[in-house]
Amino acid sequence: MKKTLLITGGAGFIGSHVVRLFVEKYPDYKIVNLDALTYAGNLENLKDIENAPNYVFVKADITNAEDIYAIFKQFNFDGVIHLAAESHVDRSITDPNAFIQTNVMGTANLLNAARLAWKGNFEGKRFYHVSTDEVYGSLGAEGFFLETTPYDPQSPYSASKAASDHFVRAYGNTYGLPFVITNCSNNYGPNHFPEKLIPLFINNICNNKPLPVYGDGKYTRDWLYVVDHARAIDMVYHGGRNGETYNIGGFNEWQNIELVKLLCKEMDEKLGRTPGESEKLISYIKDRPGHDRRYAIDANKINKELGWYPSVTFEEGLSKTIDWYLANEEWLNHVTSGDYQSYYAKQYADKGASSFYGE
Ligand code: NAD
Ligand code: DAU
């Protein structure tokens, strides 16, 4: 094998697309997927490549420093692509500690393991940290996040990601650890856990459940098809410059309510419902505390330096995503059984929502 790469969080939404891309595109790399399999990690996401000769799965928790160092010693990694994280803003509001542990301490454990295992000899090594546009805070009606935008995280989730970004840069500056960081906008696509807006609403439309729109619904996000994020990660891992940050976005801003209406329209068509039927499920509920008004990425740096640009239009991506959920009912049933029901009841019950799961 030419290289051995560690991908953390590879059983999650974005991680599974990154693992698949690397396993298939680089048969001469050994890809080690390290994941704790939390509620968000699911090996069903990787069924199609689980027996590939260049793929290894290791169940481990990045908050356990000893285990992580032992895994670095065992595999002698050439590089790390770090995606493992607690990723849902609403969960960070109810349980910030899990985010501090995994996103901050877990990242520090990986940095320490890389530094110790590589013994200061960083030739050919790379630590790639996958981060979010949420570290920049919230925009007004105008403007975009640039790589130079000052950090201003507003939720426990984004604060924990911002802290992890700072640690990665500090290890680069202090110990010379070769790193790259990307800050990406909202992803959507197959295998997205149905706690996030798009898959949650697809699932609720299928089940004729209310669609819980927070606040006035005029919050804006910039959406990117997950496979295009995985392509960007490949390009930055192989072509990005050490010590640099690259913003990744979809050039595709949508107000939540407009996106939800589009989703309803598409779902009506695909489910053979009367036009307007799914829209009747829209239910405005109490807002998310500290809700960031608008995110929008300027992704011109990665475009100019590495030639990356989204390959999938939003209409195409949304249609593919809905088709995937409709064709993968079993996947959806597995992830929405058990703990999901109690999460849902707790998350939405005090927000003025009724007739939801578990009630
Ligand atoms: P996800 O929640 O779907 O998956 C996270 C994965 O990490 C899961 O497989 C989970 O089991 C694993 N994990 C969690 N805690 C762990 C621990 N302590 N040890 C080992 N593994 C652990 O998340 P996602 O949406 O795929 O996001 C992946 C990364 O990309 C995160 O770092 C997130 O901050 C970042 N990101 C996400 C988006 C987005 O829109 N989803 C956008 C930009 C950046
Ligand atoms: O911007 C990148 C970030 O995007 C990632 O770093 C995060 O991991 C990812 O979860 C995502 O964060 P958001 O908070 O933007 O995503 P979410 O899908 O939770 O919400 C999208 C928008 O929809 C947001 O304005 C809140 C709103 N929303 C969400 C849910 C779950 C609702 O109105 N109702 C809901 O039930």
Taking residues 259-264, what's their average pLDDT? 98
User: Which ligand sits closest to the CA of 37?
Assistant: 1
Given a cut of 70, is residue 175 above it in pLDDT?
yes
- For the record, the structure tokens of 45 come out as 């996401």
Confidence of residue 358 (pLDDT cuts 50, 70, 90): very low
**Catalytic residue among 55, 128, 136, 157, which?**
157
φ and ψ of 24, to 5 deg: -80, -40
User: Is 157 designated active site?
Assistant: yes
Given a cut of 50, is residue 27 above it in pLDDT?
yes
> Does residue 264 have its Cβ closer than 6 Å to ligand 1?
no
> Does residue 244 have its Cβ closer than 6 Å to ligand 1?
no
User: Is 339 designated active site?
Assistant: no
Contact partners, residue 191, CB within 8 Å, separation at least 6? 13, 16, 17, 42, 45, 226, 324, 331
Report the Cα–Cα distance between both ends of the chain, in Å, rounded: 53
Taking residues 166-175, what's their average pLDDT? 98
Domain chopping of the chain, boundaries: 3-351
pLDDT tens, position by position, 34-68: 999 999 999 999 999 999 999 999 999 999 999 99
Which one of 6, 7, 8, 14 would you pick to mutate in the ligand 1 pocket, going by the greatest count of ligand atoms within 8 A of its CB? 14
User: Which ligand sits closest to the CA of 343?
Assistant: 2
Residues 88, 12 contacting (CB under 8 angstroms): no
Domain 3-351 CATH assignment equals 3.40.50.720:
yes
User: Is 309 designated active site?
Assistant: no
C-alpha 64 – ligand 2 centre gap (Å): 29
